[in-house]
């Protein structure tokens, strides 16, 4: 019977084949550890300020609801097609509270900040009047008193000529009419 010369273990195929998966797992662990130790890639924001503003908005909406406030906004074309005239009748103001000197109206475009506008509407004979730039898209409305104690919100579509705002504790208000 011929004698076989035995090869050392490191020259055999099977030991290397068996050790390959655990060695790959160790290398993958080191790569994962290296990547995890790097700087965080999360978006960091000041959530405290966002929470504070949200609470202020909820307080303003709740106060408007408690006061039973409402507004009727009538929109007519101005001298120029790009200008719209506003006339607002405010309902629900108690005589003890008094009528504000002016109302602050914000028109907010859902996506383009460049299309946002603001108007200060002065009180004239129980109505608030002023002008704004006419928009060709849907806008969100925010109507507040001069001290921004309460707030009414709604939506303005380009075809709307009359908008009724009513206070709700959730802040979701508006009914557009033609």
Yes or no: domain 69-177 corresponds to CATH 2.30.29 = no
Quick: pLDDT tens for 36-95. Answer: 887 766 666 778 888 888 899 899 999 888 888 899 999 887 667 667 888 888 887 665
DSSP 13-70: HHHHHHHHHHHHHHHHHHHHHHHHTS---S----HHHHHHHHHHHHHHHHHHHHHT-E
Closest to 98 (Cα-Cα) out of 65, 120, 123, 73? 123
State the chain's maximal CA–CA distance in angstroms.
Answer: 123
Quick: pLDDT tens for 147-174. Answer: 888 899 999 888 888 989 888 765 444 4
Q: Report domain extents, the chain.
A: 69-177
Distances in Å between the alpha carbon of 122 and those of 6, 64, 89, 146?
A: 103, 20, 12, 10
- pLDDT at position 152 is 92
Is the pTM higher than 0.85? no
Query: Which residues lie across from 153 on neighbouring strands?
Result: 142
């Amino acid at each position: 019977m011929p004698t076989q010369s035995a090869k050392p273990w490191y020259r055999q195929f099977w030991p290397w084949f068996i050790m390959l998966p655990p060695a790959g797992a160790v290398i993958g662990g080191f790569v994962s550890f290296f990547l995890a130790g790097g700087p965080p890639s999360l978006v960091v924001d000041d959530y405290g300020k966002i929470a504070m503003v949200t609470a202020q908005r909820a307080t303003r909406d709740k106060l408007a609801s408690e006061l039973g406030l409402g507004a009727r906004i009538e929109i007519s074309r101005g001298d120029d097609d790009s200008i719209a005239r506003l006339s607002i009748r405010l309902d629900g103001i108690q005589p003890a509270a008094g009528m504000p000197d002016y109302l602050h109206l914000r028109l907010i475009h859902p996506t383009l900040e460049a299309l946002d506008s603001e108007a200060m509407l002065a009180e004239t004979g129980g109505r608030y009047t002023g002008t704004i730039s006419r928009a060709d898209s849907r806008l969100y409305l925010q109507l507040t008193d001069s001290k921004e104690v309460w707030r009414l919100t709604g939506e303005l579509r380009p075809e709307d000529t009359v908008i009724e705002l009513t206070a709700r504790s959730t802040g979701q208000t508006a009914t557009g009419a033609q």
